[in-house]
């Protein structure tokens, strides 16, 4: 995947998604204990930590079709994480700097996995 003028390999992307999960865990752990923070935090924890787990699983897919399917799940989880972070942003919950860093990363991860999915689908269509 081309990112910032160089090719990001799957190991680098696995590390990047793991770091995102770690930052999500830290962000949620630092939230005040309110009903809204708990509910939104749990949702963000689920989607934000599943991006890396699902991407690792995609890299161990049994076929190209299986990879495409699993990358689609990763894309959905990244997009969902972005949604929860937008809610945190719009309601001003949590540390603003950490929130903005996470939101930017969720946007980038969504774009990366959307592009990977499109490229793979295009290649699969050409091979048929």
pLDDT, tens only, 82-107: 999 999 999 999 999 999 999 999 99
Within a domain: 2: no
For residues 88 and 44, is the Cβ–Cβ distance under 8 A?
Answer: yes
Confidence at residue 54, expressed as pLDDT on a 0 to 100 scale: 97
Domain with 47 in it: what CATH number? 1.20.1440.60
Q: Mean pLDDT, the chain, as a whole number?
A: 92
CB atoms near residue 30 (< 10 Å) = 12
Within a domain: 3: no
Within a domain: 62: yes
Q: What is the pLDDT of residues 10-45, one digit of tens each?
A: 899 999 999 999 999 999 999 999 999 999 999 999
Within a domain: 120: yes
**CA 122, 53, 3, 86 torsion: positive or negative?**
positive
Within a domain: 22: yes
**CA distances for 27 relative to 8, 24, 67, 83, 87, angstroms:** 26, 5, 30, 15, 14
Total domains in the chain come to: 1
Within a domain: 97: yes
Within a domain: 34: yes
pTM above 0.75, yes or no: yes
Q: What is the pLDDT of residues 61-86, one digit of tens each?
A: 999 999 999 999 999 999 999 999 99
Which range marks the domain in which residue 123 is found?
8-127
């Amino acid at each position: 995947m081309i990112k910032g003028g160089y090719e990001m390999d799957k190991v680098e992307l696995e590390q990047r998604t793991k770091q995102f999960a770690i930052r999500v865990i830290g962000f949620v752990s630092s939230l005040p204990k309110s009903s809204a923070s708990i509910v939104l935090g749990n949702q963000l924890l689920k989607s934000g930590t599943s991006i890396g787990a699902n991407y690792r699983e995609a890299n161990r897919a049994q076929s190209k079709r299986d990879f495409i399917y699993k990358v689609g799940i990763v894309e959905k989880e990244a997009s969902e994480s972005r949604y929860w972070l937008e809610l945190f942003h719009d309601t001003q919950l949590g540390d603003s700097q950490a929130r903005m860093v996470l939101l930017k990363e969720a946007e980038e991860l969504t774009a990366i996995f959307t592009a990977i999915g499109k490229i793979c689908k295009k290649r699969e269509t050409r091979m048929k």
